[in-house]
Chains A and B, each alone.
Chain A
């Protein structure tokens, strides 16, 4: 199993450009998440999904959109990139939110720079 994979690994955008980050998992997990990691701030939840076709806002959703059209994929979109969105983005997945099945597995991350 590949686990959680993310594409691309690195990307440089200019202010105002758009892009989509792709997350894929092959563990048949129901729940998927997008986090951003900034120095000194830990990981912050952007959006999450509790199943195919569902999405919900996390702690810092502004400027991002997501879609979960297939159970194994979770896409994060930036419609008009801003320098404040320079960060490392991590995708994660978990079987469910229930006790004993809630471990989150993280992907390797995407480093995004917006100039």
Chain B
């Protein structure tokens, strides 16, 4: 089955810096890669996703890149703000099967 590895487990940055979180997946059939943000005491919330027919997707300060050959994808957050502090999860699945496999999470701390 699919296996998703996520690094780093914790990431501390200064406000205004960029943050990058990386994930690798094992199943070459996976074609859907969402990123979720989980704030303390809440459920995860989708922030951006990418499908295997594109290499990059941007939404304001957030971007995701996908390298199908290497089977890895990354989340990029620019101009970080304290409210970006949360746990971020990557995931992978095959469209239509809906079995999301999650990475182990990255705790991002943005210091003012």
Taking beta carbons and an 8 Å cutoff, which residues of A are in contact with B?
4, 31, 33, 40-45, 48, 50, 58-59, 90, 92, 94, 97-99, 102-109
Contact = CB atoms under 8 A, between A and B. Distances in A.
A108 B104 contact: no
B43 to A, nearest CB: 3
Contacts, number: 63
Interface stretch (B56-64, B66-74, B77-85, B95-103): B95-103
Taking chain B's interface residues, is the majority helix, strand, or loop, or is none over half, making it mixed?
loop
A50 B98 contact: yes
A97 B93 CA distance: 10
Interface of B: 1, 4, 6, 9, 32, 34, 36, 41-46, 49, 51, 89, 95-105
Taking chain A's interface residues, is the majority helix, strand, or loop, or is none over half, making it mixed?
loop
Contact of A48 (B41, B42, B43, B99): B99
Contacts of A42: 4, 6, 89, 102-105
